């Protein structure tokens, strides 16, 4: 296989996943949190595609395509909720969403 | 011509029934006048769940051995069919509980459409035999549930619950997805049975990629089953979501997640059993500890039941950790009384909530046993069932779960379970005490302002659902032998 070794792809994928996970855990704006979730999913996608090339079969790529569709629908629901919260003029800050005691 | 795999449409019948119901309810939401939407949506969803229930039973009867449905991506077997029966039954009861829920009727038909869609996703998930169908099934029902949690937009807590569930649920799914990618990388396969074959053929048992992937898959499923330490969303979401949705989540989501956990661990990773049995046992102990201790101090009944559901997840992980045929039998059997009791208990909470128009706490539950005899007796029975006391299926379920752990040689796990049961008696019986045995002096009755119109009339559909749940709880104790036999045949579909 030409190009970098699969370990590099896996390293980038793990880096993306970790970046996304940190974003979900640390950032306050729900918009950034949604963005971070997407980064996590895309890290996994990169790993799937790299392994798919490594093993020389396409099921990993099909999986990645399906994940993209799922990620899109997840974001639609997330953005819809954020709009609904904004319409109710609640603070867009996940730390202040504490009507329910956490 | 592209070669197409053979599709066994009959095996997909429960999902297709529910998807059809969803389509009908959505068409009704657009075409019908507003005052008919509630009836039409509820009818469509009830029909869908009833159809799925019947089809799942028919599949159970006609599938003595395991079939691959679409090129190894979906399995048709008794194990999945029994789980589908439980999920469809919980859905049917939920429709009855939801009917009189006071919601804005603007989106009422969509509510039932989403309920059917979530049920379809769960029915699909429990038959998944492939990491891709696993992820798709998981997201299918999760996304439906995110919206269901937030559907009552008038409630501030409802929107918050929806967003919290979305963020944490998606985090869990992403972890599971990354784990799937690692397992795919290590083995080059997506189908569960081929993963296990590849592990055996290539001697991958201790492979770092594979073990990391397995750990992440367990974590992801732990989020969905709300097992500790992945439970932090559960109390908030259960409290904020509309109560019928909470009941459905407690019963059906947990069924789907736990059944799938057993399937994926048993079919894909039997060679790694020395690792995952310990991991699952540790998660079970953590869930028992966190769920029971936190439930002790709750005043809100919904929050208490949320923590209790975490503890129940711990009890149901014990037979999975035992990794033997008795464990599979115990899990499937326990899920039957557990899911009817969950829907039933939240239905009683919903009924009280509608009477009071306020969140139900142990204090304002006072005297309910005398005011509403049927609901009172039912709630008592559900609490006895959760605690594992005799006239209910919960007793037999716990007994079987412990005997599976004992057979595995883990007496310490049995002891942890028995101690947890003893602790749980305190808060389950607190509900019974609040409903029947509060001395007048302790109540400090203050006249509360009563909303105009007085208390709402009895809700026949909700009472029917509670009655059915009560019947299921007792019947699973009385008819324990046939049900154990059914669970035994279902568990035989897994390679123990």
B280-330: pLDDT as tens digits: 999 999 999 999 999 999 889 999 999 999 999 999 999 999 988 899 999
Which SS3 state, helix, strand or coil, does residue B151 take?
Answer: coil
Domain hosting residue A81, numbered range: 6-95
Q: Which band of pLDDT confidence, cut at 50, 70 and 90, is reported for residue B442?
A: low
How many residues are listed for chain B in this entry? 496
Inter-chain contact B166–A81, Cβ cutoff 8 Å?
A: yes
Rounded to the nearest angstrom, the minimum Cα separation between B302 and chain A is 12
Question: In whole angstroms, what is the distance from residue B389 CA to residue B187 CA?
Answer: 46
Q: Quickly count helices (H) and strands (E) in chain A.
A: 3, 0
Which is more confidently placed, A102 or B319? B319
Q: Does residue A42 lie within any of the structural domains?
A: yes
Average pLDDT over residues B155-179: 90
Inter-chain contact A48–B184, Cβ cutoff 8 Å?
A: yes
A52 neighbourhood in chain B, CB within 8 Å: 184
Cross-strand pairs, B76: B67
Q: Are the beta carbons of B115 and B45 closer than 8 angstroms?
A: yes
B190: nearest CB among A20, A63, A70: A63
Q: What is the pLDDT of residue B71?
A: 80
Q: Does residue A38 lie within any of the structural domains?
A: yes
Question: In whole angstroms, what is the distance from residue A92 CA to residue B14 CA?
Answer: 40
- Angle at the Cα of B455 (from B452 to B461), degrees rounded to 5? 135
| Residue position matching structure tokens 């099934």 | B137
* B205 phi, psi to nearest 5 deg: -50, -45
Q: Does residue B474 lie within any of the structural domains?
A: yes
Q: Does residue A20 lie within any of the structural domains?
A: yes
Inter-chain contact B190–A78, Cβ cutoff 8 Å?
A: no
Question: In whole angstroms, what is the distance from residue B298 CA to residue B286 CA?
Answer: 19
Which SS3 state, helix, strand or coil, does residue B1 take?
Answer: coil
Q: Does residue A82 lie within any of the structural domains?
A: yes
Interface check for A43 against chain B (CB to CB < 8 A): the answer is yes
Q: Does residue B486 lie within any of the structural domains?
A: yes
Rounded to the nearest angstrom, the minimum Cα separation between A63 and chain B is 6
Angle between helices B254-268 and B108-125 (to 10 degrees): 20
Q: Does residue A40 lie within any of the structural domains?
A: yes
B468: pLDDT strictly greater than 60:
yes
Q: Does residue B4 lie within any of the structural domains?
A: no
Q: Does residue A100 lie within any of the structural domains?
A: no
Q: What is the pLDDT of residue A102?
A: 46
Interface test with A, best of B154, B172, B177 (most A CBs within 10 A): B177
Q: Are the beta carbons of B238 and B250 closer than 8 angstroms?
A: yes
- Work out the burial of residue B274: count CB atoms within 10 Å of its CB; fewer than 13 is exposed, 13-18 middle, 19 or more buried: exposed
Inter-chain contact A78–B163, Cβ cutoff 8 Å?
A: yes
Q: What is the pLDDT of residue B108?
A: 86
CB-defined contacts A:B, below 8 A: 126
Of the given ranges (B213-217, B275-279, B363-367), which has the lowest mean pLDDT?
Answer: B363-367
E-assigned strands of B301-391?
none
Nearest-Cα residue of chain B relative to residue A75: B166
CATH of the domain at A91: 1.10.287.3510
CA atoms within 13 A on the CB side of B275: 17
Q: Does residue B454 lie within any of the structural domains?
A: no
Average pLDDT over residues B340-362: 89
Residues ≥6 apart with Cβ < 8 Å to B104: B152, B153, B154
pLDDT over 90 percentage in chain B: 62
Inter-chain contact A20–B161, Cβ cutoff 8 Å?
A: no
Of the given ranges (A82-86, B54-58, B470-474), which has the lowest mean pLDDT?
Answer: A82-86
Total domain count for chain B? 1
B447: pLDDT strictly greater than 60:
no
Which SS3 state, helix, strand or coil, does residue B359 take?
Answer: coil
Distances from the Cα of B318 to the Cαs of B65, B314, B417, B434, in angstroms? Answer: 27, 7, 8, 31
Q: Does residue A102 lie within any of the structural domains?
A: no
pLDDT over 70 percentage in chain B: 95
Q: What is the pLDDT of residue B372?
A: 85
Q: Does residue B238 lie within any of the structural domains?
A: yes
Q: Does residue B325 lie within any of the structural domains?
A: yes
Q: Specify the long-range contacts of residues A68-75, CB closer than 8 Å, at least 24 apart.
A: A70/A41, A70/B135, A70/B136, A70/B139, A70/B143, A71/A37, A71/A38, A71/A41, A71/A42, A73/B139, A73/B143, A74/A37, A74/B139, A74/B143, A74/B166, A74/B170, A75/A34, A75/A37, A75/A38
| Residue position matching structure tokens 């997201």 | B139
The closest of B98, B358, B381 to B243, measured between CA atoms, is B98
Please tell me what DSSP assigns to residue B270: G
Q: Which two tokens stand for residue B9?
A: 């449409």
Instruction: Count other C-beta atoms under 10 Å from residue B471's C-beta.
Output: 14
Domain hosting residue B296, numbered range: 9-441+460-491
B232 neighbourhood in chain A, CB within 8 Å: 102
Question: In whole angstroms, what is the distance from residue B417 CA to residue B315 CA?
Answer: 7
Q: What is the pLDDT of residue A24?
A: 92
Question: In whole angstroms, what is the distance from residue B162 CA to residue B347 CA?
Answer: 20
Q: Does residue B471 lie within any of the structural domains?
A: yes
B469: pLDDT strictly greater than 60:
yes
Q: Does residue B447 lie within any of the structural domains?
A: no
Question: In whole angstroms, what is the distance from residue B392 CA to residue B428 CA?
Answer: 14
Q: Does residue A1 lie within any of the structural domains?
A: no
Q: What is the pLDDT of residue B495?
A: 83
* Binding-face residues of A in 44-73 toward B, CB within 8 A: 44-45, 47-48, 50-52, 54-55, 57, 59-60, 62-63, 66-67, 70, 73
Which is more confidently placed, B18 or B155? B18
Nearest-Cα residue of chain A relative to residue B164: A94
Return mean pLDDT, chain B.
Answer: 89
B166 neighbourhood in chain A, CB within 8 Å: 74, 77-78, 81
Average pLDDT over residues B379-392: 90
Average pLDDT over residues B367-371: 82
B319-338: pLDDT as tens digits: 999 988 899 999 999 999 99
Inter-chain contact A73–B167, Cβ cutoff 8 Å?
A: no
B85-117: pLDDT as tens digits: 999 999 999 999 998 877 767 788 899 999 999
Q: Which band of pLDDT confidence, cut at 50, 70 and 90, is reported for residue B448?
A: low
Interface test with A, best of B161, B170, B210, B231 (most A CBs within 10 A): B170
B139: nearest CB among A10, A70, A80: A70
Q: What is the pLDDT of residue B256?
A: 94
* A56 phi, psi to nearest 5 deg: 65, 35
B366 φ/ψ sector (left φ>0, alpha ψ -120 to 50, else beta)? beta
Question: In whole angstroms, what is the distance from residue A49 CA to residue A55 CA?
Answer: 10
- Work out the burial of residue B416: count CB atoms within 10 Å of its CB; fewer than 13 is exposed, 13-18 middle, 19 or more buried: buried
The H or E element containing residue B395 is helix B393-408
| Residue position matching structure tokens 């008592």 | B380
Rounded to the nearest angstrom, the minimum Cα separation between B282 and chain A is 24
Inter-chain contact A99–B166, Cβ cutoff 8 Å?
A: no
A44: nearest CB among B139, B171, B178: B178
Interface confidence, given as ipTM, is 0.90
How many residues are listed for chain A in this entry? 102
Total domain count for chain A? 1
Residues ≥6 apart with Cβ < 8 Å to A85: A30, A92, B159, B160, B163
Q: Which two tokens stand for residue B279?
A: 């991991």
């Amino acid at each position: 296989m030409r190009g970098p070794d699969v370990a590099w792809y896996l390293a980038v994928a793990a880096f993306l996943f970790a970046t996304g996970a940190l974003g979900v855990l640390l950032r306050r704006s729900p918009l950034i949190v949604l963005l971070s979730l997407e980064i996590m999913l895309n890290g996994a996608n990169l790993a799937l595609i790299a392994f798919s090339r490594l093993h020389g079969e396409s099921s990993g790529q099909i999986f990645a395509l399906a994940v993209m569709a799922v990620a899109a629908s997840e974001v639609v629901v997330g953005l819809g909720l954020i709009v609904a919260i904004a319409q109710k003029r609640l603070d867009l800050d996940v730390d202040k969403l504490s009507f329910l005691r956490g | 011509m592209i070669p197409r795999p053979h599709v066994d449409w009959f095996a997909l019948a429960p999902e297709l029934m529910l998807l059809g119901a969803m389509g009908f309810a959505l068409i009704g939401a657009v075409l019908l006048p507003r005052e008919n939407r509630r009836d039409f949506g509820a009818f469509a969803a009830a029909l869908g769940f009833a159809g799925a229930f019947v089809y799942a039973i028919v599949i159970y009867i006609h599938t003595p051995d395991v079939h691959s449905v679409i090129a190894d991506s979906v399995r048709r077997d008794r194990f999945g069919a029994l789980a589908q029966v439980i999920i469809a039954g919980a859905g049917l009861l939920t429709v009855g509980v939801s009917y009189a829920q006071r919601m804005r009727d603007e989106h009422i038909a969509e509510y039932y459409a989403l309920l059917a869609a979530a049920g379809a996703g769960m029915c699909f998930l429990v038959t998944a035999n492939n990491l891709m169908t696993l992820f798709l099934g998981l997201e299918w029902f999760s996304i439906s549930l995110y919206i269901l949690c937030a559907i009552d937009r008038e409630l501030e807590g409802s929107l918050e619950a929806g967003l919290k569930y979305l963020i944490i649920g998606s985090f869990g799914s992403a972890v599971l997805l990354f784990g799937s990618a690692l397992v795919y990388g290590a083995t080059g396969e997506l189908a569960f049975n081929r993963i296990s074959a590849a592990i055996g053929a290539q001697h991958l048992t201790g492979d770092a990629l594979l073990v990391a992937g397995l750990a992440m898959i367990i974590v992801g499923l732990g989020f969905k089953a709300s097992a500790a330490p992945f439970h932090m969303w559960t109390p908030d979401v259960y409290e904020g979501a509309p109560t019928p949705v909470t009941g459905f989540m407690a019963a059906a989501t947990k069924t789907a997640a736990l059944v799938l956990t057993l399937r994926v661990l048993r079919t894909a990773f039997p060679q790694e059993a020395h690792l995952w049995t310990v991991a699952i046992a540790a998660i079970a102990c953590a869930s028992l500890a966190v769920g029971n201790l936190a439930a002790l101090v709750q005043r809100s009944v919904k929050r208490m039941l949320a923590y209790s559901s975490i503890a129940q997840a711990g009890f149901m992980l014990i037979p999975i950790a035992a990794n033997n045929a008795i464990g599979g039998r115990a899990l499937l059997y326990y899920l039957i009384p557990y899911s009817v009791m969950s829907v039933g208990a939240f239905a009683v909470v919903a009924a009280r909530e509608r009477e009071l128009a306020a969140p139900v706490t142990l204090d304002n539950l006072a005297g309910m046993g005398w005011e509403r005899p049927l609901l009172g007796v039912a709630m008592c029975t559900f609490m006895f069932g959760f605690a594992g006391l005799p006239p209910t299926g919960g007793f037999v379920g716990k007994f079987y779960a412990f005997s599976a752990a004992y057979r595995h040689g883990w007496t310490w796990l049995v002891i942890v379970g028995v101690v947890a049961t003893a602790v749980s008696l305190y808060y389950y019986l607190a509900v019974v005490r609040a409903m029947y045995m509060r001395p007048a002096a302790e109540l400090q009755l203050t006249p509360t302002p009563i909303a105009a119109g007085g208390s709402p009339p009895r809700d026949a559909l909700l009472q029917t659902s509670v009655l059915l749940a009560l019947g299921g709880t007792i019947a699973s104790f009385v008819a324990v032998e046939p049900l154990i036999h059914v669970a035994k045949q279902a568990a035989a579909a897994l390679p123990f």
